[in-house]
Amino acid sequence: MTGKSRKIAKPEDHALPLPLDGLSRMQEQLLRLAGEHLSDREHWQQERRRLVEEKVWLRAMIDQVPDYLFVKDDQCRFVIANKALMGDLKNGTLDVVGLTDADVHPPERAAEFMADDRRVLRSGRPMIDKEEFVLLPTGEQRWLSTSKVPLRSDDGEVIGLVGVARDITLRKHAEQQVRFLAYYDPLTKLPNRASFEENLEDVARLLEPGEEARLMLVDLDRFKQVNDTLGHAAGDELLRQAADRMSQLVGGRGQVARLGGDEFVVTMAFDNLNHERPFYDLLVQRLAAFSIMGNDVHVGASVGVSKIHTSTTPLAALREADIALYDAKAHGRNRWQLFEGGMADELERRHQLELDLRNSLPHGDQFTVLYQPIFDASGVSVEGVEALVRWVHPELGMLSPDRFIALAEERGLIIELGEIVLRRACELLARTDLPWVAVNVSPVQLHDPLFPDRVMNVLGTARVAPSRIQLEITEGVVLEEFGQARPVLDRLRAAGMRIAIDDFGTGYSSLSYLGRLSVDKIKIDRSFVQAIGNTSGEAIVRAVIAFAKALNMTVTAEGVETEDQQNFLRAAGCQELQGYLLARPMPEEQLRALMGSR
Ligand SMILES: [Mg+2]
């Protein structure tokens, strides 16, 4: 534009025409002309003032605009740049007039900007709202929305361009955030389910014929217990650490995604199938133990593996991995399992079992309750009994709780089932002078705020005093600080029921936790009773008994099977014994006979 801009006429260019005919006329004319000239000069001076003023106002205006405003000539050189643009380039110390983008931006960026300039100059068509990324000399990264409009001379020739660039960094960040939230899990920063499903389709599509990839469905075994015991912050920390470990292990060879809860998925292709099994071993090993907020916790992971090949759909691969995962869990957890054809039948059986459970609950007649007596330390008198449910399935016969309790918990059927057992226990109490019955309560029931009302209702109907009911709960539930279980337990205890911790020692509580618990009884887990005979096992049992006594709690030993165990426990001061040595779980008639005979 510099070479072709219109010049404003200057006063020196005006030639003054001199009259020649006669002095008086000349004088007259001179005076007139002088007057005209004077007024011309005045006019010009006024015009000049107006232009200067206008320039000042225009400058002020373009400098006040926060967007970048600039004019470039036909050689892509800056002619005008506003303060916003100058301020951001070279920290504002550089006057860009006369320079091109090549003088102020890194080569790659400059080349792109100048290519746009040339396109506008050559075509005469504007570029509107192009989103571009710039790295400022300060190191700041910025997103701009830039428009470049051709500037034409009076005869229509393109002589330069006018540019406007608006900072859209905040908007871009917001867009990125929205995209991140749509495709990533904010907690672990891993891709989420939506993103995984898209990726899985790509993995399957990009496989060569005959090539296979693997899908690993990973489930943390004791996530819920960590959450319940150490709180949600610890649960979150566990998920983050597990995600990091898996990402490190997989590296660039595949993708790790979080499907939700404590369920993760790994997709990976192995170029050498000999590396496959060692990888699964390593995956399970890496997720075995964690240090969470100062606590060493054994978590463990179960992994179900399926094959992704060109002929299977991603959905089928996911379903097969799910079946394999279920199998890994059913066979002891903390292990991996490849999908095999027969497993689908197993899953089908499980679905059928769930259906049967659902259908049988309203009548309740397929459930029978056995009672295992709990004796005093001498093993002579029955202090109370523990109610233990069995399911007499019309086709499968007598099923023990490990076949259906977890299923009932998972499917929310445990509340109904728990009520059946409690009702039977209360009916037994109403018919006998048995001091108390202990019933097992699932954490799922304790998270139901209506649970105390349900219990009081059953007790009221059977006219049984709350003091004759003991509720056996797991360690995790009592230690939970943030959940709803605590107030529920407090209400039950205030109503007169006693609370016992079942299977004590298998959770995460240490002896020092015991003082914080509002419970009446501890049942030492059978695994500690079995350890009686070796020095450290005996030391643990002694310590638990001493501690519980100091806190005025009753101690029951579970799984007492030998006389040596009984003798040791009695000597150590354990008040109550339960186990096959003394009595197995039995039906009501047998229990009545036993009590009658004593
Ligand atoms: Mg129990």
Q: Classify domain 363-597 by CATH number.
A: 3.20.20.450
Look up tokens 């489930």; give the residue: 219
Closest to 443 measured CA to CA, from 528, 399, 501, 513: 501
Q: How many residues does the chain have?
A: 598
- Given a cut of 70, whether residue 510 has pLDDT beyond it is no
Q: How far, in Å, from the CA of 421 to the mean position of ligand 1?
A: 13
Q: How far, in Å, from the CA of 472 to the mean position of ligand 1?
A: 6
Look up tokens 């060879």; give the residue: 253
More reliable by pLDDT, 24 or 463 = 463
Provide the 10 A C-beta neighbour count for residue 580: 12
Q: What is the DSSP letter of 483?
A: S
Q: How far, in Å, from the CA of 351 to the mean position of ligand 1?
A: 27
Q: How far, in Å, from the CA of 372 to the mean position of ligand 1?
A: 10
- Given a cut of 70, whether residue 571 has pLDDT beyond it is yes
The C-alpha atoms of residue 70 and residue 84 are separated, in whole angstroms, by: 10
Q: How far, in Å, from the CA of 425 to the mean position of ligand 1?
A: 14
Q: Per the structure block, which two tokens stand in for 228?
A: 């319940």
Distances (CA, A) of 124 to 5, 72, 120, 148, 579: 18, 14, 5, 10, 94
For 401-437, the pLDDT digits (tens) are 988 998 898 888 999 999 999 999 999 999 999 999 9
* Domain boundary assignment for the chain: 2-63, 66-173, 185-341, 363-597
Residue 481, C-beta contacts closer than 8 angstroms, at least 6 positions apart:
231
Poorest-confidence range of 73-77, 92-96, 174-178, 224-228? 92-96
The C-alpha atoms of residue 130 and residue 83 are separated, in whole angstroms, by: 22
For 8-41, the pLDDT digits (tens) are 334 344 434 444 444 555 566 666 766 666 677 8
Count of helices and strands (H, E) across the chain: 21, 21
Sign of CA dihedral 285, 289, 292, 294: negative
Q: How far, in Å, from the CA of 523 to the mean position of ligand 1?
A: 8
Q: How far, in Å, from the CA of 265 to the mean position of ligand 1?
A: 35
Q: How far, in Å, from the CA of 375 to the mean position of ligand 1?
A: 15
Q: How far, in Å, from the CA of 396 to the mean position of ligand 1?
A: 24
Cα-based torsion angle of the residue sequence 198, 200, 202, 205 in order, rounded to the nearest 10 degrees: -140
Look up tokens 């746009």; give the residue: 116
Q: How far, in Å, from the CA of 292 to the mean position of ligand 1?
A: 29
> What does pTM read for this prediction?
0.55
Mapping DSSP onto H, E and C, the string for 390-401 reads EEEECCCEEECH
Cα-based torsion angle of the residue sequence 21, 27, 31, 34 in order, rounded to the nearest 10 degrees: 60
pLDDT of residue 22: 44
Poorest-confidence range of 9-18, 27-36, 76-85, 481-490? 9-18
The residues pairing with 523 across neighbouring beta strands, listed in sequence order, are 556
Q: How far, in Å, from the CA of 440 to the mean position of ligand 1?
A: 5
Q: How far, in Å, from the CA of 15 to the mean position of ligand 1?
A: 118
Provide the 10 A C-beta neighbour count for residue 142: 16
Is 480 in contact with 490 (CB distance < 8 Å)? Answer: no
Q: How far, in Å, from the CA of 524 to the mean position of ligand 1?
A: 10
The C-alpha atoms of residue 560 and residue 581 are separated, in whole angstroms, by: 6
The C-alpha atoms of residue 598 and residue 586 are separated, in whole angstroms, by: 16
Mapping DSSP onto H, E and C, the string for 239-298 reads HHHHHHHHHHHHHHHEEEEEEECCEEEEEECCCCHHHHHHHHHHHHHHCCEEEECCEEEE
Q: How far, in Å, from the CA of 441 to the mean position of ligand 1?
A: 8
Q: How far, in Å, from the CA of 439 to the mean position of ligand 1?
A: 7
Q: How far, in Å, from the CA of 322 to the mean position of ligand 1?
A: 31
Sign of CA dihedral 355, 471, 383, 547: positive
Q: How far, in Å, from the CA of 499 to the mean position of ligand 1?
A: 11
Is 391 in contact with 404 (CB distance < 8 Å)? Answer: yes
Closest to 434 measured CA to CA, from 373, 345, 363, 522: 373
The C-alpha atoms of residue 366 and residue 384 are separated, in whole angstroms, by: 25
Is 563 in contact with 532 (CB distance < 8 Å)? Answer: no
- Given a cut of 60, whether residue 1 has pLDDT beyond it is no
- Kindly indicate whether the domain formed by 185-341 is annotated with CATH number 3.90.1150.10: no
For 285-301, the pLDDT digits (tens) are 999 999 998 888 889 99
Domains 66-173 and 185-341 share a fold: no
User: What whole-number percentage of the chain has pLDDT above 70?
Assistant: 89
| Residue type (1 letter), 404 | F
Q: How far, in Å, from the CA of 382 to the mean position of ligand 1?
A: 17
For 95-133, the pLDDT digits (tens) are 888 999 998 888 998 999 999 999 999 999 999 999 999
Q: How far, in Å, from the CA of 453 to the mean position of ligand 1?
A: 22
Q: How far, in Å, from the CA of 445 to the mean position of ligand 1?
A: 15
Q: How far, in Å, from the CA of 370 to the mean position of ligand 1?
A: 12
CATH class of 66-173: alpha beta
Q: How far, in Å, from the CA of 584 to the mean position of ligand 1?
A: 13
Q: Per the structure block, which two tokens stand in for 585?
A: 């779980």
Q: How far, in Å, from the CA of 288 to the mean position of ligand 1?
A: 27
Q: What is the DSSP letter of 191?
A: B
pLDDT class of 478 with cuts at 50, 70, 90: low
Q: How far, in Å, from the CA of 560 to the mean position of ligand 1?
A: 14
Rounded to an integer, the average pLDDT of 156-175 is 93
Poorest-confidence range of 67-71, 162-166, 292-296, 385-389? 292-296
Q: How far, in Å, from the CA of 525 to the mean position of ligand 1?
A: 10
Look up tokens 């995956």; give the residue: 283
The CA-to-CA distance between both ends of the chain, in Å, stands at 116
Q: How far, in Å, from the CA of 549 to the mean position of ligand 1?
A: 20
Look up tokens 């904010």; give the residue: 186
Q: How far, in Å, from the CA of 386 to the mean position of ligand 1?
A: 7
